[in-house]
Structure 1
Amino acid sequence: MNERTVTVEGDNDLVAARKRAALSVLLNMILALVKGGAGILSGSAALIGDAVHSAADVFASGAALVGLWIAGKKHPSFPFGLYKAENIATLVIALAVIMVAYEIGRDALIGGETIPDTALALPVAIGSLIVAVVFGLFQLRCGKKLGSPALIADARDYLVDGASTGVVIIGLIGASFGFALDRWAAGAVSLFVLWAGFELLVDAVRDLLDAAMPRELVHDLSSLVEKQPLVSRVLGCVGRQAGGRYIANLDILLRTNDHLVADRVADRLEVLVKKEFPRIVMVHVRTHFGHSESHRRITPVIDHGGAMAEGLASAPWFMVEDLDGQTKAVTECAFVRNPHRDAPKRRGLMVGQMLMELKPDQVIRPDGHAGTALALLEEAGVDILRIGEEK
């Protein structure tokens, strides 16, 4: 997979996120109209407040949609896209939710005691609860899959909307038994909405202030890099969030003093990281050189006697030797069976990937032999030597 493929995948994610945000706008509009109409006809202040919440969600979801649309735009000053537009959209959502909470709470404080008509209001509230929770869970799953903070914020808003509708239902059930709980239910709805608004506000500000990459991502990224040939270890891995994307900086210690090899390894790692972690839109690899106490040499052999095989991918065994970094004496020797020797297709690719997992510094190739496995190893910076050229 090349960088163009990675970019296309990111663009496809944005398109999918926009479609779901547009669906959210339509659904919130329907919920607002249905709950508002039922609240007015039934005289339920709590249901009207819940309708106001949904109406605000129309604006909030619209802001998410606009943010997702802007995020995919390219500009010379923003070569990796305006991904932080999603965080700005999340901030707008948070402020809108806090304003709605204030309005609902104010109406609950100054409103009078009433007992609404539950025959109309209760079925509408129950139906709205089911729709909000089901769509909220669906939106949350999609947001996490696509790495979109705007969709995740929208999903949380739906789930909070469902919780507030649940409080409305409790008030309406009490009203059906003659208890005037509607006003108190409206007040409880405002607290739910206020809590959700402040949570979203904190998340948006945190991302806008360049919060660090999640620890799990740092660990997974470091593990991937340390599995590559010539990489002794990751000295440092730091990154920051950029909307639903990340920018990463890696410092790695290599078992080579060849600057050309180091540059090739760094270039390959930058492409590999973007391939394995599509949410990382930019990665910079800084290489460092250090004395290695040992290095590893792999030779394709016929058997444990060490006789050279005629080909690399078709070799029955591989002799893996660890050599002292100064004296070059063999300190350890093992034989690894080639499990892909008889593979009908992609044998060279599979053997090359297997050998890279062994992290060799050198691979001895049979005379005149070339192929996919050797190309992969050479691209990773491994020294490809003929028999007799061992260093």
Structure 2
Amino acid sequence: MNPQEKQIGTTPGKGGDQTLTASEEIKRARGRAGFSIILNLSLALLKGVAGVLSGSAALLGDAVHSATDVVGSGAAYAGLWLAGRRHPSFPYGLYKAESVATLITAVAIILAGYEIGRNALMGAKPLPVVDLALPAALLSLVVTVGFGLYQVRAGRQLHSVALVADGRDYLVDGMSTVAVVAGLVGAHFGLDLDRWAAGVVALFVFWSGGQLMWRALRDLLDQAIDRESERRIIKEVESHPSVEEVSRCFSRTAGGRFLVDLDVVLRTSSLQLAERIAARLEADIRRRFPQVVSARVMPRTHQSSQIRQFTPVKGPEGDMEGHLARAPWFRLDVIDRESRKVVSRQYLENPNWNQERKRGLLVGRWLLEMKPDQVVVAEIKEGTATTLLEEAGVQLILAKDLESGN
């Protein structure tokens, strides 16, 4: 399967939750970014025409703000277009193109803040024609805030920082439009509030752009993923029965997605088995953690000085149970690998032996939680429990071979 095509999340739809692949998420985000360009152009034209006809300098400044947003929306679209591409020179993918787009969007927001602040400092101007300017400003406000909230929500669902940045840009645009509306309402009552409200909004715009710029720079400088997510990934890997420990974990963010490299110590001497387990761990990480688009597990083999051997029995000190999943008890022998002597012995009650449904699955998972090296069976036959054990790299030993010393 192409790395771009792995399933990484769900998006609500009319028929319930719909599973999306990484490439599908990027494609949907790119479509929303394309629509954003058209919407920003329309808003800029609406405000610009209304500003000229009404003589509202604030509305004209807001039109300039929307025009700069076209640059940000275009950057988001370009970044998402690149993020969906693959190239041999970029083995981790081009996901950071979204971070570059976010950085450009941040610059556009800061420039818009400068324009709003500059207009605020230019002094008083003749009062505009409110009846013409106010409806255009109110319509722009409703559209801008509504689409901004929708864009942020869609960006979070699709794990797209560029789309989230574009949505926040719309919300900032809405703040400046609020200032325009306030100025026009003041003009209706003969008050010149335009430049004071615009000055306050300019500060919010600068702050928002600065936050986005800092977030994009951290991403581009290979910031590690948050510690909680990293701990959860390590815990998930170390829960595998063949994993002794995760010796090192390197992680970084890429356009709102995660790249993870792990050095893992496995309880086996077989390189072939280690590679198979590593491949399984990589697939499990990507499946359990939707934001991880690249997971690399570097296995290192290591044999413990002791062997954890499980034998199904009818009871403590009882005879061996022939059916693995129906054994009410298991004998755990800790064996010294070199001398082959039993170091310790204990009996563990099987909590799932009398389950009527999915007994093999439950018993197999329970055994894997005990991290066995070997499981003794009367015969090796197909079953859910034995399949789980074999796939996890647990050695199945026939009781007759153990008795004969083979």
Class of the TM-score when normalised by the shorter of the 2 chains = 0.7 to 0.9
Per-residue CA deviation, residues 268-319 of structure 1 (Å, 9 max, x unaligned), is 2122212223432332223345675765444445566654444444x25352
Alignment counterpart, residue 52 of structure 2, candidates 40, 53, 63: 40
Per-residue CA deviation, residues 192-222 of structure 1 (Å, 9 max, x unaligned), is 3222222222222221111112222211211
Match status 1:321 vs 2:332: yes
Is contact 1:2-1:275 (8 Å) kept?
no
Q: Residue type matched to 1:173 in 2? A: V
Would you say how many aligned residue pairs link Structure 1 and Structure 2? 388
Partner residue, 1:138: 150
Q: Residue type matched to 1:270 in 2? A: E
Partner residue, 1:224: 236
Partner residue, 2:349: 335
Q: Residue type matched to 1:91 in 2? A: L
Partner residue, 1:102: 114
Is contact 1:167-1:189 (8 Å) kept?
yes
Q: Distance in 1 between matches of 2:307 and 2:122?
A: 78
Per-residue CA deviation, residues 218-268 of structure 1 (Å, 9 max, x unaligned), is 112111111111223322222112333322121233333444433332222
Q: Distance in 1 between matches of 2:35 and 2:336?
A: 62
Partner residue, 1:11: 23
Q: How do 1:1-391 and structure 2 match up within 5 A?
A: 6=6, 9-288=21-300, 292=304, 296-301=308-313, 306-313=318-325, 315=326, 317=328, 319=330, 321=332, 323=334, 327-338=341-352, 341-343=355-357, 348-349=360-361, 351-388=363-400
Is contact 1:316-1:338 (8 Å) kept?
no
Q: Residue type matched to 2:117 in 1? A: G
Q: Which moved more, 1:107-116 or 1:64-73?
A: 107-116
Equivalent pairs: percent with the same residue?
48
Q: CA deviation at 1:135?
A: 2.2
Q: Distance in 1 between matches of 2:318 and 2:61?
A: 81
Q: Distance in 1 between matches of 2:220 and 2:344?
A: 54
Q: CA deviation at 1:57?
A: 1.2
Alignment CA distance shift 1:331-1:97 (3 Å): same
Alignment CA distance shift 1:303-1:20 (3 Å): farther
Q: Distance in 2 between matches of 1:29 and 1:83?
A: 27
Q: Distance in 2 between matches of 1:331 and 1:56?
A: 73
Q: Distance in 2 between matches of 1:81 and 1:221?
A: 21
Q: Which moved more, 1:292-301 or 1:188-197?
A: 292-301
Alignment CA distance shift 1:273-1:382 (3 Å): same
Q: Distance in 2 between matches of 1:209 and 1:303?
A: 59
Q: Distance in 1 between matches of 2:47 and 2:249?
A: 50
Alignment CA distance shift 1:44-1:357 (3 Å): farther
Q: CA deviation at 1:181?
A: 0.9
Q: Residue type matched to 2:262 in 1? A: L
Is contact 2:266-2:301 (8 Å) kept?
yes
Q: Distance in 2 between matches of 1:356 and 1:212?
A: 31
Alignment CA distance shift 1:380-1:58 (3 Å): same
Q: CA deviation at 1:12?
A: 1.0
| SS of match in other structure, 1:337 | coil
Q: CA deviation at 1:3?
A: 5.9
| SS of match in other structure, 1:329 | strand
Q: Residue type matched to 2:328 in 1? A: W
| SS of match in other structure, 1:241 | strand
Q: Which moved more, 1:296-305 or 1:377-386?
A: 296-305
Q: Residue type matched to 1:166 in 2? A: V
Alignment CA distance shift 1:278-1:89 (3 Å): same
Q: CA deviation at 1:115?
A: 2.6
Q: Distance in 1 between matches of 2:100 and 2:383?
A: 50
Q: Residue type matched to 2:64 in 1? A: V
Alignment CA distance shift 1:50-1:275 (3 Å): same
Q: Distance in 1 between matches of 2:187 and 2:336?
A: 83
5+ residue gaps, structure 1, are none
Q: Which moved more, 1:301-310 or 1:176-185?
A: 301-310
Q: Distance in 1 between matches of 2:81 and 2:298?
A: 34
Q: Which moved more, 1:264-273 or 1:351-360?
A: 351-360
Q: Residue type matched to 1:328 in 2? A: V
Q: Distance in 2 between matches of 1:224 and 1:292?
A: 21
Is contact 2:335-2:344 (8 Å) kept?
yes
Q: Distance in 2 between matches of 1:35 and 1:262?
A: 63
Q: Residue type matched to 2:387 in 1? A: A
| SS of match in other structure, 1:49 | helix
Q: CA deviation at 1:179?
A: 1.4
Alignment CA distance shift 1:378-1:29 (3 Å): same
Is contact 2:286-2:294 (8 Å) kept?
yes
Q: Residue type matched to 1:337 in 2? A: P
Q: Which moved more, 1:221-230 or 1:234-243?
A: 234-243
Q: Distance in 2 between matches of 1:171 and 1:340?
A: 75
